[in-house]
Amino acid sequence: MARISVDVDGSRYTDEVEPRMLLVQYLRERLGKVGTVVGCDTGNCGACTVHLGGRSAKSCSVLAVQADGQQVTTVEGLARDGELHPVQAAFHDNHALQCGFCTPGMIMQSLDLLAEQPDPDDDQVREGLEGNLCRCTGYQNIVRAVRDAADRMRPGAGPEAERTAAGAQTPHPRESADSAERTGGRQG
């Protein structure tokens, strides 16, 4: 067993884990972060995408021990004070989901894309999301949503714009204010 300490969605967790445990298993089975889903377990679909150390990562391709000492953000850490993050709101408003299974990963990857390219065109969105698959093939609306999110996050676009793409990579709504230290996780 290995001892890890990870900041997930603004809370600190310290746990003993098997060295072979995947980050996605740790998030779902130990922390109950079931908003992060497993679509393939082979690194192909992107459904399990989270942010690790501020960049997107497929959590089925990362060991939990590799997250030790790092900051992890899941889709569950994006909303703030009960209000959807602009990217979440844009996906909702543009009907950018059908079954919704790919959506958590799409949203997390979109945030990474917008941090790199705050005003992407359609091709850049498609390229930025090429590692994420939507089996419902809802790509048109997903591209539309990401471009809408870019508009919403543009400086001067209103209160939502304060939550810039860069800031969105560490969007912990609770930040350090009520960051809880927990030792010994629930057993999955």
Using CB under 6 A, list all residues that contact ligand FES.
38-41, 43-48, 58, 60, 97-102, 134-136, 138
Residue 37 CB, shortest distance to ligand FES, in Å, is 7
3-state secondary structure of 113: helix
Distance in Å, CB of 153 to ligand FES, minimum: 22
- Joined together, the tokens standing for residue 10 give 């603004």
Stretch (H or E) spanning 149? helix 139-153
Number of other residues whose CB lies within 10 A of the CB of residue 9:
22
Six token digits for residue 109: 């990857």
Q: Which is closer to ligand FES, CB of 26 or CB of 101?
A: 101
Task: State both tokens at 120.
Answer: 């992407």
The rounded Cα 94 to chain-centroid distance in angstroms is 19
Helix (H, G, I), strand (E, B) or coil at 88: helix
Cα dihedral 155, 84, 134, 35, rounded to 10, equals 130
Nearer to ligand FES, 3 or 95 (CB): 95
Q: How far is the CB of 113 from ligand FES (least distance, A)?
A: 16
Beta carbon of residue 96, minimum distance to ligand FES (angstroms, whole number)? 8
Nearer to ligand FES by Cβ, of 107 and 160: the residue is: 107
What whole-number distance in Å separates Cα of residue 148 and Cα of residue 134?
Answer: 19
Nearest distance in Å: CB 66, ligand FES: 15
Closer to ligand FES at the Cβ: 103 or 160?
A: 103
Dist CA 63 CA 61 (whole Å) = 7
